């Protein structure tokens, strides 16, 4: 099945941006690029770039927005700010991504429009859109770089909120038995190196036991730590006792 | 309070990428850029670019990663793939963003490391990291563009999952009274224009009533539609009846 999402660049001027948009599409597994009235030289130059060439080779060029989105049952536009009466709903990217995903999972074609680097989408361009979305960047800064805006939108579409659920895959932690072996060795080491005073041996033992347990030692590192302490003990054993 | 997140570019080579990273930082309201061993010419060139100059002017340069992250209590690295034994936990960006946000809200300094365009972070670079994150792009494609990777990570940090909750701010829909006014006018129009046959008037009325209710008309558009229908009715009244 052809990818139902069309990425439509309206009047792009900079070959680097066209190439960056194509690269982001390839990164996130989208391949339907459409260009409306692109600056001819820029498009040619972008096509000669190495990255994501298959996307640019298959990119379709249209003279008007209406033709570029004719087969789409949802047309969403991107805009930098709520700076004028937009006439259509404006969503932040997070919920807009959800709306788009909902449309696309059914295999229904949708278009996502990005305006030119300099002016964004015009009011006339926006009149083709069912709704608009805004990447939640600082309003003071104004518009984003085109290639970055495309990358962020596509990331949001591929984002997997559930990935956050299994976020911690904690390495298996060390067993109590191994923790105690490490504790004894370390205590031995502290005794032999003169860190522990005879009068405080007992409280030191508790302190060290807790210290070791607060480390959050991964099980896989146990042998390494045991080896380190044994080696140091061996070396200390070699030194003449005073 | 100074921004607790340091964006650390390790050995960047391309001035456009340094500039793009700075622009993304400005877009999302981060301002602490650090560069480890940047290609001198690239850094100078990036500084002369127009965008986000205040970030580049304040960017600090360090000879080593250790020095660049010395004041950070969390160091996270970015990597393109799980292609080798990474020795530290690797998270997708979604949960990694949550971990980073959790650290930053407390005002605790953290560093987010990006490797050079060509090689990414080396094993030695990664050994300074508490954990690594990966942007969930297609593995087949390999690495992402540096400026786009920075933009996506910062977007994830500024992302507001709750914005998805109030996603629909549906325009107030038209009242039943106005819907019925529109229905009558439209029916009148259909009658006068010969659309409705005398034998099917009743079923047509039901059809049209349902048709109008399925439109999801915004209340604000009611008067426009009423005006349109009235005008057409007026025009039809002007035409001689056959």
Shortest Cα distance, chain A CAs vs residue B48, angstroms = 17
Of A130, A161, A192, at which residue does a domain stop? A161
| Interchain CB contact of B230 with A (< 8 Å) | no
Of B108, B135, B162, at which residue does a domain stop? B162
Among A3, A20, A31, A167, the residue to mutate for chain B (most B Cβ within 10 A): A167
Asked if B59 and B126 sit in the same domain, the reply is: yes
**CA distance linking residue A148 with residue A159, whole number of Å:** 16
Among all chains, which residue has been given the structure tokens 């002007």? B238
Report DSSP state, residue A40: H
| Interchain CB contact of B155 with A (< 8 Å) | yes
| Interchain CB contact of B177 with A (< 8 Å) | no
| Interchain CB contact of A118 with B (< 8 Å) | no
State the pLDDT at residue A109. Answer: 92
Tally of CB atoms within 10 A around B26:
23
Of A128, A161, A194, at which residue does a domain stop? A161
- H and E: helices and strands count for chain A: 10, 7
State the pLDDT at residue B161. Answer: 78
| Interchain CB contact of A131 with B (< 8 Å) | no
Asked if A184 and A223 sit in the same domain, the reply is: yes
Shortest Cα distance, chain B CAs vs residue A152, angstroms = 5
Q: How many alpha carbons lie under 13 Å from residue A31 in its C-beta half-sphere?
A: 12
Does this model's pTM top 0.90? My answer is: no
Asked if B98 and B131 sit in the same domain, the reply is: yes
Asked if B133 and B156 sit in the same domain, the reply is: yes
Question: pLDDT for B80-138, tens place per residue?
Answer: 865 556 677 888 999 999 999 999 988 889 999 999 988 899 988 998 998 999 999 88
- Name the residue among A92, A145, A171 with its Cβ closest to that of B163: A92
> Which residues in B lie closer than 8 A to residue A99 (C-beta atoms)?
167
Helices (H), chain B: 15-28, 40-47, 53-58, 65-68, 93-105, 123-126, 146-158, 176-192, 201-213, 222-238
State the pLDDT at residue B33. Answer: 94
Asked if A150 and A197 sit in the same domain, the reply is: no
Asked if A146 and A222 sit in the same domain, the reply is: no
A206 falls within a domain: yes
Per-residue pLDDT band at B43 (split at 50, 70, 90): confident
Tally of CB atoms within 10 A around B198:
6
**CA distance linking residue A69 with residue A32, whole number of Å:** 12
B168 falls within a domain: no
pLDDT at B10 over 90: yes
A170 falls within a domain: no
Question: pLDDT for B151-210, tens place per residue?
Answer: 999 999 999 877 765 544 555 667 888 889 999 999 888 888 888 877 777 788 888 888
- Name the residue among B24, B52, B136 with its Cβ closest to that of A158: B136
B171 falls within a domain: no
| Interchain CB contact of A152 with B (< 8 Å) | yes
Burial B145-155 (b: 16+ CB within 10 A, else e): bbbbbbbbbbb
Tally of CB atoms within 10 A around A161:
11
- Name the residue among B137, B160, B171 with its Cβ closest to that of A94: B160
State the DSSP H helix or E strand holding residue A149, giving kind and residue range, or none if neither. helix A146-158
**Are A23 and B144 within 8 A, CB to CB?**
yes
> Which residues in A lie closer than 8 A to residue B169 (C-beta atoms)?
89
> Which residues in A lie closer than 8 A to residue B219 (C-beta atoms)?
none
Asked if A105 and A13 sit in the same domain, the reply is: yes
B106 falls within a domain: yes
Question: pLDDT for B214-224, tens place per residue?
Answer: 887 888 888 88
B100 falls within a domain: yes
| Interchain CB contact of A107 with B (< 8 Å) | no
Residue A31, C-beta contacts closer than 8 angstroms, at least 6 positions apart:
A3, A25, A54, A55, A58
| Interchain CB contact of A85 with B (< 8 Å) | no
Bridging pattern class, strands A32-36 and A60-62:
parallel
Report DSSP state, residue B240: P
Mean pLDDT, range B35-53, rounded to an integer: 80
Taking 50 as the pLDDT cut, the residues of chain A under it are 1, 167-168
Among all chains, which residue has been given the structure tokens 């570019």? B9
What is Dmax (Cα atoms) for chain A? Answer: 92
| Interchain CB contact of A2 with B (< 8 Å) | no
pLDDT at B58 over 50: yes
State the pLDDT at residue A210. Answer: 87
Look up the domain containing B217 and give its range: 176-238
> Which residues in A lie closer than 8 A to residue B166 (C-beta atoms)?
95
Size of interface A-B (CB pairs under 8 A): 120
**CA distance linking residue B15 with residue A176, whole number of Å:** 52
User: What tokens does B209 get?
Assistant: 């009533």
Asked if B12 and B117 sit in the same domain, the reply is: yes
State the pLDDT at residue A5. Answer: 95
Asked if B38 and B153 sit in the same domain, the reply is: yes
| Interchain CB contact of B118 with A (< 8 Å) | no
Among all chains, which residue has been given the structure tokens 């990777």? B149
State the pLDDT at residue B1. Answer: 47
Among A94, A117, A146, A160, the residue to mutate for chain B (most B Cβ within 10 A): A94
A89 falls within a domain: yes
Complex confidence, ipTM: 0.80
Asked if A157 and A180 sit in the same domain, the reply is: no
Handedness of CA A197, A201, A203, A209 (dihedral sign): positive
Asked if A100 and A196 sit in the same domain, the reply is: no
CATH of the domain at A116: 3.40.1280.10
State the pLDDT at residue A50. Answer: 63
- Name the residue among B99, B138, B156 with its Cβ closest to that of A27: B138
**Are A163 and B24 within 8 A, CB to CB?**
no
**Are A99 and B159 within 8 A, CB to CB?**
no
Shortest Cα distance, chain A CAs vs residue B142, angstroms = 8
**Are A27 and B95 within 8 A, CB to CB?**
no
A171 falls within a domain: no
| Interchain CB contact of A145 with B (< 8 Å) | yes
Given a contact cutoff of 8 angstroms between Cβ atoms, the answer to whether A124 and B131 are in contact is no
Asked if B136 and B190 sit in the same domain, the reply is: no
> Which residues in A lie closer than 8 A to residue B151 (C-beta atoms)?
144-145, 148, 151-152
What total number of domains does chain A contain?
2
């Amino acid at each position: 099945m052809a990818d139902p999402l069309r990425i439509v660049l309206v009047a792009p001027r900079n070959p680097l941006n066209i190439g960056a948009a194509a690269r982001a599409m390839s990164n996130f597994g989208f391949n339907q690029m459409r260009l409306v009235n692109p600056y001819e030289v820029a498009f040619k130059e972008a096509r000669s770039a190495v990255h994501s060439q298959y996307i640019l080779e298959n990119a379709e060029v249209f003279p008007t927005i209406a033709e570029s989105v004719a087969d789409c049952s949802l047309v969403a536009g991107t805009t930098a700010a709520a700076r004028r009466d937009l006439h259509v709903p404006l969503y932040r990217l997070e919920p807009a991504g959800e709306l788009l995903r909902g449309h696309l999972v059914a295999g229904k074609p949708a278009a996502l429009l990005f305006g030119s680097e300099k002016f964004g989408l015009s009011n006339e361009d926006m009149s083709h859109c069912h709704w608009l979305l805004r990447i939640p960047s600082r309003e003071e800064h104004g518009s984003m770089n085109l290639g970055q805006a495309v990358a962020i939108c596509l990331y949001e579409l591929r984002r997997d909120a559930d990935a956050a659920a299994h976020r911690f895959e904690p390495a298996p932690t060390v067993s109590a038995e191994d923790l105690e072996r490490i504790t004894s060795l370390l205590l031995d080491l502290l005794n032999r190196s003169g860190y522990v005073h005879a009068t405080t041996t007992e409280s030191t033992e508790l302190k060290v036991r807790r210290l070791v347990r607060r480390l959050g030692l991964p099980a896989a590192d146990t042998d390494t730590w045991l080896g380190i302490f044994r080696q140091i003990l061996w070396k200390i054993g070699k030194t003449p006792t005073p």
